[in-house]
Amino acid sequence: MELKPLQLLVLTSAVFIFTFGFGIIIPIIPYYTRSVNATAFDLGLLLATFSFLQFFCGPIWGKISDHIGRKPVIIFSLLGFTLAFAMVGLSSQLWMIFIAVSIGGFFSAGIFPAVLAFVADITQPSERAKLMGLMGAVSGLGLILGPFASSLLAVYGLSAPFFAAALISFITMIGCMVLIPESITYTQIVKIRDAVKPLSMLNMIIETFRHMFTALKTGLGVFLMAMLVISFAISGFEGTFTYFLMDKIGLSSVTSFVKVFDSGIHLTGPEAMGIVFAMMGAVSVICQGLIVAKAIEMFGEEKVIIFGLLIASVGMILLLTSTDLGTALIYICIISVGSGLVFPCLNTVVSRRTDERNQGVAMGILSSYGSFGRVLGPIVGGYVYVINIAFPYALSAIVMALSAAGLFAYMLMGLWKKKNSEALDQEILVNVNN
């Protein structure tokens, strides 16, 4: 199947709205939750709730997409995302925001596994890296435009950015309903009890961990752990970086003079963070859209993952030496290059090693490892930051460097080139999926 331009636009919009929503939240959610008398701890619980639900639900939605198709899962996920953002915009109490965030976390967990599985369904392995890189670039674009849109729309009220995100998600859902065909070509009957069973929270938790631990025993395990490590490191960095700039450079919520190389500029803390995340997103778009496919073609996914981990690790160490906003931005861009190489390569290598009937569950498992890292990262990062502001970045650098060394040793031993590795992956994933 060859994607038409409008179909590709809808799929990329589905990925875009996910990160665009995060981009909108980043600069405004602290002020929004404060307007309903929430504390910083409440805000942390909100973000943890979202990540936990994504972690638990990713493989479940992937499994459901293997049974009923990619298109229904994408539509349901976008519908849930639309409702969640609209509810946040209408919320006047903290408990309302919690419900909205829970709905968003539950449904949005299906966007990435279903879209990536759709891409895997319709492409040959040789073409897959290019489309995976495009999806990664689009997700980075969401992080660029999200903070920018949030700052523009917030002048109309704190709720305006959330309503805008809900509208875009709704339009994308309609486009998916009208334009996107189903990519699964085989027929599989779904029993009602099998479709309803995953919706139980207890079963969801049991199934998610069963999937994750089973997949960890396969040849995919090393790449799943790499996803956990990079997500842990990047989220730990992002979760403490605002405080790092406050303590290291002197940013605050009011306008102040901020040193940039040998000169300076007057900025508020939120404005500076908008610049930071826009730069991170821009570098990610360039890296994933223009570099990843060529790098994979030249070196292979595994080597690019190792390079990416090392680059991000070096960026973390350099960040500790920053003395002004300018140098901090340079080092952040280095970190973004590293993560921009790792994420799409992990998507591609896991997809290559999974048979076509289990793309959804494989991508869901990969998504859960990423979500689990994003749950642990801010918690651990915040804890060690209190001890010393350098600890989160030193810790992230160490775990990424060790992971790169482990992958290099794994490559030297030839373990990921064993002929029976793909068959083993497929056999276990099929057992998990049945």
* Mean pLDDT of the 275-286 span: 76
pLDDT score of 38: 64
pLDDT score of 97: 84
Q: Which domain holds residue 268?
A: 5-433
Measure the CA–CA gap between 39 and 123, rounded to whole angstroms.
47
How many domains is the chain built from? 1
Lowest mean pLDDT among 182-196, 217-231, 255-269, 295-309: 182-196
> Dihedral sign, CA of 184, 79, 177, 116?
negative
pLDDT score of 253: 60
Please state the three-class secondary structure of 378-396 as a single string.
HHHHHHHHHHCCCHHHHHH
Q: Is the pLDDT reported for residue 429 higher than 50?
A: no
Model confidence pLDDT, tens digit, residues 92-108: 888 888 898 888 888 88
- For residue 120, the domain's CATH number is 1.20.1250.20
Is residue 36 classed as helix, strand or coil in its secondary structure? coil
Instruction: Tell me the pLDDT band of 270, cut-offs 50, 70 and 90.
Output: low
Whole-angstrom CA distances from 134 to 30, 226, 291 are 31, 21, 11
pLDDT score of 431: 47
217 CB neighbour count, 10 Å cutoff: 11
Q: Is the pLDDT reported for residue 157 higher than 60?
A: yes
CB 198, CB 207: distance < 8 Å: yes
Q: Dihedral, CA atoms, 32, 36, 39, 42, nearest 10 degrees?
A: -80
CB 257, CB 396: distance < 8 Å: no
- Residues β-bridged to residue 257: 266
Measure the CA–CA gap between 353 and 351, rounded to whole angstroms.
5
Whole-angstrom CA distances from 197 to 29, 130, 430 are 34, 36, 18
Instruction: Tell me the pLDDT band of 308, cut-offs 50, 70 and 90.
Output: very high
pLDDT score of 433: 45
241-250, 353-362, 397-406 — most confident range: 397-406
Which DSSP string corresponds to 217-266?
TSTTHHHHHHHHHHHHHHHHHHHHHHHHHHHHH---SS-EEEEETTEEEE
Q: Is the pLDDT reported for residue 416 higher than 70?
A: no
